[in-house]
């Protein structure tokens, strides 16, 4: 299996505070990689580095490298808009735009120059089907997206990310604000999506990591302690710190 994103010796500082320490990891494509660890351990910071969302934070300094499909994402020639199109993001809290369901999905393709209505209709339907929400919203596409339930809003945000045809989907605790039924829908969806996309998901919920991910990375105090196949990492961790965390001795 080939790797789609590779980080080497990645360090990141917010001002004087070092948030990531020499992270080296290779993320296999068409898989789900879960990032676990206690709060403030660097997992969300690492996730946001992969599509340069951290560029938006003042005072950030980064060293080391991140390669996406053999391209250095920090190279001066890198088009950040293109990078974020290829590597989409779904946030912890559903954040639909205050506009219709249809316009939420069509927004990205329109910004990339697609104006043809038939083409937009097709993208909207395909994206909503891809996010397993089409049947619930197909009769109310012109209604405001803010009228959807929290779980529906989160699947709408996934559909919005899919609309620009990314290759990678970053998910920052996408189910932490949702009830158990909505959570299981998102988990089922993630399992389906990995056939076409690579997913990197930050989760506080270790059971979730076990249920849906192929690989797990355990972060602690800005360091990557252990990375490997999920089943092995949870059943036979190589590192004592990993074992202590997953058995609940700390964190």
Angle, helix 150-162 to helix 117-130, in steps of 10 degrees: 130
How far CA 77 is from CA of 71, 72, 82, 236, in Å, comes to 10, 9, 11, 43
pLDDT tens profile 164-203: 999 999 999 999 988 899 899 999 999 999 999 999 999 9
Integer Cα distance of 190 and 181 in angstroms: 14
Give the global pTM: 0.94
Integer Cα distance of 154 and 177 in angstroms: 9
The pLDDT value given to residue 43: 96
pLDDT tens profile 110-156: 988 999 999 999 999 999 999 999 999 999 999 999 999 999 999 99
Could you give the percent of the chain with pLDDT greater than 70? Answer: 99
Distance of CA 185 to the CA centre of its chain: 16
250 pLDDT higher than 90 = no
Phi, psi of 113 (to 5 degrees): 95, 5
251 pLDDT higher than 60 = no
Give the list of residues 6+ apart from residue 244 with CB closer than 8 angstroms, or none.
250
């Amino acid at each position: 299996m080939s790797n789609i994103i590779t980080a080497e010796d990645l360090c990141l500082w917010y001002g004087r505070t070092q948030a990531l320490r020499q992270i080296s990891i290779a993320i296999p494509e068409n898989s789900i990689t879960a990032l676990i660890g206690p709060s403030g351990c660097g997992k969300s910071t690492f996730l946001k580095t992969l599509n340069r969302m951290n560029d938006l934070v003042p005072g950030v300094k980064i060293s080391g490298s991140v390669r996406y499909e053999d391209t250095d994402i920090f190279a001066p020639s890198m088009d950040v808009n293109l990078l974020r199109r290829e590597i989409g993001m779904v946030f912890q809290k559903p954040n639909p735009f205050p506009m219709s369901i249809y316009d939420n999905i069509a927004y990205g393709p329109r910004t990339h120059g697609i104006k043809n209505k038939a083409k937009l209709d097709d993208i909207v339907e395909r994206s909503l089907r891809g996010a397993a929400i089409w049947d619930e919203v197909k009769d109310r596409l012109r209604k405001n997206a803010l009228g959807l339930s929290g779980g529906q809003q989160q699947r709408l945000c996934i559909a919005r990310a899919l609309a620009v045809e990314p290759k990678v989907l970053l998910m920052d605790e996408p189910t932490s604000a949702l009830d158990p039924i909505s959570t299981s829908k998102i988990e089922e969806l993630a399992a389906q999506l990995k056939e076409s996309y690579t997913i990197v998901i930050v989760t506080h919920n270790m059971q979730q990591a076990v249920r849906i991910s192929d690989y797990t990375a355990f972060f602690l105090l800005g360091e990557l302690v252990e990375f490997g196949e999920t089943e092995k990492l949870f059943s036979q961790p190589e590192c004592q710190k990993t074992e202590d965390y997953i058995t609940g001795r700390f964190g």
